[in-house]
Amino acid sequence: MEPVVTVLVVEDEAMLLLDYERALTEAGFAVIVVTSGTKAIRLLNEDNQVQGVVTDIRFAKPPDGWEVGRAARRIDAGIPVIYISGHAAADWTEKGVPNSIMLEKPFAMAQLVTAMAQLLNDRLPRET
């Protein structure tokens, strides 16, 4: 049996948070959910088990999702990061971390699962 991958989901809209959590859990991921950038960064600094991050961009208070992605990459330079936004997608190339994925709301939950699987697969060492 393959080890379970733990994904941190950061979203301040309760219904969306539940949808993302359900989709990832049904796909076999272990999911930790938080509702702010502050909580996400605190958890990333305290918990070395997080292996992927899904974050909204805009929260009621700073830090925003861009900073969550940067904080995750300071801890683990290759951690998969997926940004989600209905308004900030145009800023992704400037503010997002390299080798991340941007999903624009609305999107199918299968896209979220596929994006995380793609980033995790890209991270795996290639056999020669």
Q: What is the model's pTM?
A: 0.92
CA dist., res. 63 & res. 41, Å (int): 9
Which residue bears the tokens 């997926």?
Answer: 82
Residue 48 has pLDDT above 90, yes or no: no
Query: Residue 58: which H helix or E strand, with range?
Result: none
What are the tokens at 115?
């994006």
Q: What is the pLDDT of residue 89?
A: 75
Tell me if 35 sits within 8 A of 9, measured CB to CB.
Answer: no
| Helix, strand, or coil (residue 9) | strand
What are the tokens at 55?
């974050």
**pLDDT tens digits, residue range 60-105?**
999 999 999 999 999 999 999 999 998 877 889 899 999 999 999 9
Percent with pLDDT over 90 in the chain: 82
| Helix, strand, or coil (residue 54) | strand
What are the tokens at 2?
């393959």
